[in-house]
C-alpha cells in the first residue's frame, strides 16, 4: 500500500522555472504540498503554478505575503484565486480589515495569515516597534487573524503549541523554520525539527533547502517523510 504524502510543503525557491518544475515532480510522491514564493511568482507569473502542479493533485501553497490596503489585497487575491491555490499568505500585520477582504475575495482558498516572520527575533521586533517578545506578538496576531476570517496561520514551530491552544483545532498551522536534526539554520532564527514541530501542533511543515539543496531532492523528501511516519506512528 502506498504511504500517504507527508504533511510537508516543499519551498521551491528555484533559480528558474524548469528547476522548480523538476523539483516538484521529484518530491510530489512523498509530500502533500509545494510552495511557490514571491521571487518565483514575480519572475514567471501564473504559469509557475501550472508548471509545479503538473499532472499531480499536489496542493499548491502560494506564499505571496500580501500586505496593502484592503481593497488592493482583495483585488490581488481575486486575481490569484483562479489559480486554485490551497493556501495564500497575507501578513497579519495588515490588520483585520485587510485579512477579511482577502478571505471574502477567495472563499475556496485558505487564507494563511503570517504572524511573525521566522527570521525575526525579539531584538528585531523591538527595532521595528512591535511589542514583544515574539511569542506574545504571535499570539496577538494569531487571535486577530482568526477573528478576521483567516483559516490558517503561519508561525514558527516554537510558538505552535501556544497558538494551537489559543485558536483551537480547526485552524491549519503552518510552520516554516523546520530543519532536520543537524541541518544548518541559515537565515532562520526560530527553528525546530520536523518531529518537534508536529508534536507541538503544526499541521503543515515548510521545508526548503534541506530538500531542494540535496543531490536528490526526491530521496531527501522521501527520507524526511519516512522519518516522520516512524516517529509519529501510534504506539501499539
Could you list the active site residues?
65
Residue 180 cell numbers, joined? 532536520
Query: Cis before residue 98, ω within 30 degrees of 0?
Result: no
Q: Which residues of 148-158 are buried (b: 16+ CB within 10 A; e: fewer)?
A: bbbbbbbbbbb
CB 111 within 8 A of CB 92: no
How many residues are present in the chain? 236
CB 66 within 8 A of CB 76: yes
* Closest C-alpha to 14, from 32, 41, 33: 41
* Closest C-alpha to 112, from 174, 45, 186: 174
Residue 194 cell numbers, joined? 520536523
The four Cα atoms 226, 227, 232, 235 give a dihedral, to 10 degrees, of 90
Please, which residues have CB within 8 angstroms of residue 36's CB and are 6 or more apart in sequence? 12, 20, 48, 49, 52, 60, 61, 62, 63
Instruction: Compute the distance between CA of residue 156 and CA of residue 176 in angstroms, rounded to an integer.
Output: 6
Amino acid at each position: 500500500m502506498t504511504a500517504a504524502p507527508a504533511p510537508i510543503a516543499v519551498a521551491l525557491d528555484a533559480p528558474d522555472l524548469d528547476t522548480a518544475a523538476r523539483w516538484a515532480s521529484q518530491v510530489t510522491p512523498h509530500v502533500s504540498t509545494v510552495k511557490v514564493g514571491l521571487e518565483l511568482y514575480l519572475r514567471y507569473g501564473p504559469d509557475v503554478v501550472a508548471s509545479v502542479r503538473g499532472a499531480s493533485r499536489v496542493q499548491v501553497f502560494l506564499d505571496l505575503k500580501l500586505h496593502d490596503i484592503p481593497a488592493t489585497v482583495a483585488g490581488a487575491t481575486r486575481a490569484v484565486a483562479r489559480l486554485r491555490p490551497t493556501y495564500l499568505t497575507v501578513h497579519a500585520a495588515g490588520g483585520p480589515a485587510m485579512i477579511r477582504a482577502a478571505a471574502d475575495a477567495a472563499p475556496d482558498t485558505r487564507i494563511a495569515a503570517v504572524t511573525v516572520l521566522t527570521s525575526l527575533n525579539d531584538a528585531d521586533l523591538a527595532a521595528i516597534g512591535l511589542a514583544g517578545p515574539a511569542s506574545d506578538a504571535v499570539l496577538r496576531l494569531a487571535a486577530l487573524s482568526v477573528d478576521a476570517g483567516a483559516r490558517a496561520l503561519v508561525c514558527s514551530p516554537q510558538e505552535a503549541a501556544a497558538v494551537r491552544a489559543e485558536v483551537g483545532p480547526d485552524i491549519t498551522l503552518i510552520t516554516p523554520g523546520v530543519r532536520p536534526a543537524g541541518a544548518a539554520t541559515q537565515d532562520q532564527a526560530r527553528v525546530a525539527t520536523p518531529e518537534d514541530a508536529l508534536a507541538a501542533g503544526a499541521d503543515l511543515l515548510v521545508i526548503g533547502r534541506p530538500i531542494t539543496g540535496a543531490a536528490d531532492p526526491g530521496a531527501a523528501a522521501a527520507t524526511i517523510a519516512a522519518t516522520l511516519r516512524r516517529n509519529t506512528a501510534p504506539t501499539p
